[in-house]
């Protein structure tokens, strides 16, 4: 993989590898502690290669990653089964990018419909880097038809340079993630930004908050997440020249 790369071209390539008709490749299903406890489906494939991603190796090689292709209904049933066993009320898609193109986005839409048809009172949390929602505003408008969908947009940089170093993608796509968040919020979707404290630092958080205001995207609920310092993550960050704030992770200290 040559850096930096075009994330839209990579989206097309990865989508062709992880989609077969209306089925998408998944690597596992699990119950996670986040959001107070949530049933989680981990997809295979992402259009970015973020240095701090816990799933970096799998996303770098989606073809070589073990997994299974499932229809939206099959995914919905697995998520709901986990949910009922744990007596929760939230589901999410994680592990990779949910929207790589139209085929994967239509899979996502069908999955949301299936989940809400089985369990109408379930909250569906969608995690995304926002880039495709910035490129295709109609994605956000279509998603707004669902009332119990909540979108967490994980920002990968506070300026073009940091975006390129962190994500591996070309710096000119920095604004696409911001536009994606704005498009979602403008369409009436409940969406909020998130950023990594150790990577952004106080000054980066201040800068991205300014950029969000400039683009008329709400930053009132900016979520601060914390790094999981796996050895390969620290190595990736060092290779990319991404400086880290040294601070204890509150989750690891519990």
Q: Determine whether 129 is exposed, middle or buried from the number of CB atoms within 10 Å of its CB (0-12, 13-18, 19+).
A: buried
Q: Give the count of domains, the chain.
A: 1
**Spatial separation of the C-alpha atoms in residues 245 and 149, rounded to whole Å:** 33
Six-digit token string for 98: 């949910």
The answer to whether 124 and 115 are in contact (CB under 8 A) is: yes
229 belongs to a structural domain: yes
221 belongs to a structural domain: yes
245 belongs to a structural domain: no
Q: The domain containing residue 110 runs over which residues? A: 7-240
Structure confidence at residue 251 (pLDDT): 46
38 belongs to a structural domain: yes
Q: What's the whole-model pTM score?
A: 0.93
**CATH classification at residue 159:** 3.20.20.70
Q: Could you list the mean pLDDT of each consecutive 10-residue stretch along the chain, which spans 254 residues?
A: 92 97 97 93 97 92 94 98 91 95 97 96 96 97 95 96 97 97 96 96 95 87 92 93 72 39
Cite the DSSP H helix spans in 144-251: 160-167, 174-186, 197-214, 231-240
Residue 30: which region, alpha, beta or left (left: phi > 0; alpha: psi -120 to 50)? beta
Q: How far is CA 184 from CA 128, 129, 139, 178, in A?
A: 11, 12, 8, 10
20 belongs to a structural domain: yes
């Amino acid at each position: 993989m040559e850096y930096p790369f075009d994330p839209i071209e990579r989206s097309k390539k990865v989508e062709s590898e992880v989609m077969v008709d209306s089925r998408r490749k998944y690597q596992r299903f699990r119950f996670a502690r986040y959001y107070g406890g949530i049933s989680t489906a981990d997809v295979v494939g992402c259009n970015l290669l973020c240095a701090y991603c816990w799933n970096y190796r799998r996303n770098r090689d989606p073809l070589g990653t073990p997994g299974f292709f499932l229809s939206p209904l099959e995914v919905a049933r697995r998520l709901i089964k986990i949910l009922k066993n744990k007596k929760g009320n939230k589901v999410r898609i994680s592990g990779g990018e949910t929207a790589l193109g139209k085929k994967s986005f239509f899979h996502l839409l069908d999955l949301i419909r299936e989940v809400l048809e089985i369990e109408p009172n379930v909250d569906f949390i969608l995690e995304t880097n926002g880039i495709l929602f910035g490129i295709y505003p109609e994605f956000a408008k279509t998603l707004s038809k669902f009332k119990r969908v909540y979108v967490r947009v994980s920002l990968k940089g506070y300026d073009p340079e940091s975006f390129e170093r962190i994500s591996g993608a070309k710096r000119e796509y920095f604004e696409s993630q911001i536009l994606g968040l704005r498009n979602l919020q403008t369409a009436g979707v409940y969406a909020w930004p998130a950023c990594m404290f150790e990577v952004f630092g106080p000054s980066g958080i201040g800068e991205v908050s300014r950029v969000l205001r400039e683009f008329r995207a709400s930053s009132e609920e900016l979520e601060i997440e914390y790094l999981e310092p796996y050895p390969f993550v620290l190595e990736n960050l060092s290779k990319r020249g991404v400086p880290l704030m040294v601070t204890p992770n509150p989750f690891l200290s519990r």
